[in-house]
Amino acid sequence: MSDLDSQVPYWDAAAATKTFTHPLHLPWLDEIGRHAAILDYGCGYGRTMEELEQHGFDNLTGTDTSPGMIQRARHLHPTMRFAALDAPPISPYPDAGFDAVLLFAVLTCVPSDEAQHRLIAELNRILKPGGILCISDLLLQDDERNRSRYADRYGSHGVFETGDGAVCRHHSREWLSTLLTRFETVDTRTITVATMNGHESMGIQILARKPTAT
């Protein structure tokens, strides 16, 4: 993964100040049961894992590219399992080790096409056949502020630099469908979400399933 796609120094600094707000849609997790092995990939400071625990899920693992985020997560949730990734998107987890993977506001932090494809391939590897992938991310916005900052200089439409120095990406529905060609899309929902810098944006949540046979 390139420096543009990891941006670890930015996220280490952001660990102390940013708040993430993508909502957890619990009905999508009902079928897997409260003892299912769940990985929160790009867990940040553990906000979503805390909510899962509050709803009775007891086999949770969180991982993130940012050691700063993991440090904050461990401080806030000392009894939970967290690990920093050494060589993202490759993880230390075995093939077919998880019943579900959450990917909340992660693709927006991975600007390039190639790196996004590699990430989805890795999540496909570690999911059990029939396992689910829950994605929550940001769509291309139609307001003037966002349209003016989308640029092709990073290689993909919808990539832009935030005012505080992060390079992020918003996505078309078509691109997200392309990323998930190895999965069966079960459901989608459109949401309104506050970004880490406090702007109201249109988001999308996708429930996808790894096929039981290839």
Candidates 89, 123, 117, 104; CA nearest to 179 is 117
3-class state of residue 165 by DSSP:
coil
Q: Residue 148 has what pLDDT?
A: 85
For the beta carbon of residue 105, count every other beta carbon within 10 angstroms.
21
For the beta carbon of residue 140, count every other beta carbon within 10 angstroms.
16
Q: Residue 199 has what pLDDT?
A: 82
Question: What gap in Å lies between CA 160 and CA 100, rounded to an integer?
Answer: 30
Listed as ranges, residues in the chain with pLDDT below 50 are: 1
What's the DSSP call for residue 30?
Answer: G
The residues spanned by each domain of the chain are: 3-209
Q: What is the pTM of this model?
A: 0.94
Q: Residue 151 has what pLDDT?
A: 67
Assigned CATH topology for domain 3-209 = Rossmann fold (3.40.50)
Q: Residue 130 has what pLDDT?
A: 97
- What per-residue string of b and e applies to 150-182 under the rule 16 or more CB within 10 Å gives b? beeebebebbbeeeeebbbbbbeeebbeebbee
Question: What gap in Å lies between CA 104 and CA 114, rounded to an integer?
Answer: 19
Question: What gap in Å lies between CA 23 and CA 192, rounded to an integer?
Answer: 10
Question: What gap in Å lies between CA 141 and CA 102, rounded to an integer?
Answer: 23
Residues 6 or more apart from 115 whose CB is under 8 A from it?
1, 2, 5, 89
Write the pLDDT tens digit of every residue in 19-40.
Answer: 999 999 999 999 899 999 999 9
Token match 């940001």: residue?
Answer: 138
- Residue 2 falls in which region: left (phi positive, over 0), alpha (psi -120 to 50) or beta: beta
